[in-house]
Amino acid sequence: MDQTLKQRLVGAAVLAALVVIFVPMLVGDPDEHVIEKPVIAEPAKIEPFASELLSQEVVIPERIKPAEVNLTEPKAPTAEAKPVVERPKVGIEAWVVQVGKFSNRENAQKLVASLRKAEMQTPDPEEETISGKTSYRVIVGPFLKKTRAEGLVEEIRKISGTKAFVTSFQ
């Protein structure tokens, strides 16, 4: 489309918008835009508050004297061992065999395909970005028992040709 034609169409659209906005204001009823002042009602009369509780006498308890502390005799520091608090385990603990980490997605997918061909429970490669570098993690599992995951490591190493190892499932 020609540039001058575009400019003319934009100008015509702007003029039409201005006419639609301002002409009704100029031609309309002048009393239509007048805002009436709201009528404020008189406040309600407030009656005095009457309560039986206010007429009763309040008993103030006596202050308790603080215990006396002897500051002249220094106390020997007690060497109490703090108990080690273990965090309670939440949920189910699971294990996976990490087969490898690849910078190339295609290589990771080829390894997943070969593991699936050997009937291993292998999900799609997990994408991880660390310090701006993307890598693809290939795992087998998860397994509820660590011994089951450890039992498959050698078989997975033979299939994949990598240094597979057992790690916790996240």
Domain 95-168: CATH class, spelled out: alpha beta
What confidence tens digit (pLDDT) does each residue in 148-169 have? 888 888 888 888 888 888 888 7
Q: Give CA separation, 84 vs 3, 87, 121, 130, in Å.
A: 79, 10, 38, 34
- Region 86-108 average pLDDT: 80
Q: What are phi and psi of 136, to 5 degrees?
A: -120, 120
Round the average pLDDT of the chain to a whole number and report it.
Answer: 79
Q: Give CA separation, 170 vs 46, 79, 91, 142, in Å.
A: 66, 40, 12, 10
Structure token pair of residue 54: 């206010």
The C-alpha atoms of residue 114 and residue 116 are separated, in whole angstroms, by 5
Whether the Cβ atoms of residue 149 and residue 143 lie closer than 8 Å to each other: yes
Higher pLDDT, 44 or 91: 44
Angle at 19 between CA 14 and CA 23, to 5 degrees: 160
- What pLDDT does 43 receive? 76
The C-alpha atoms of residue 96 and residue 143 are separated, in whole angstroms, by 6
Angle at 153 between CA 149 and CA 158, to 5 degrees: 150
- What pLDDT does 10 receive? 93
What confidence tens digit (pLDDT) does each residue in 3-36 have? 999 999 999 999 999 888 888 777 766 666 667 7
- What pLDDT does 74 receive? 62
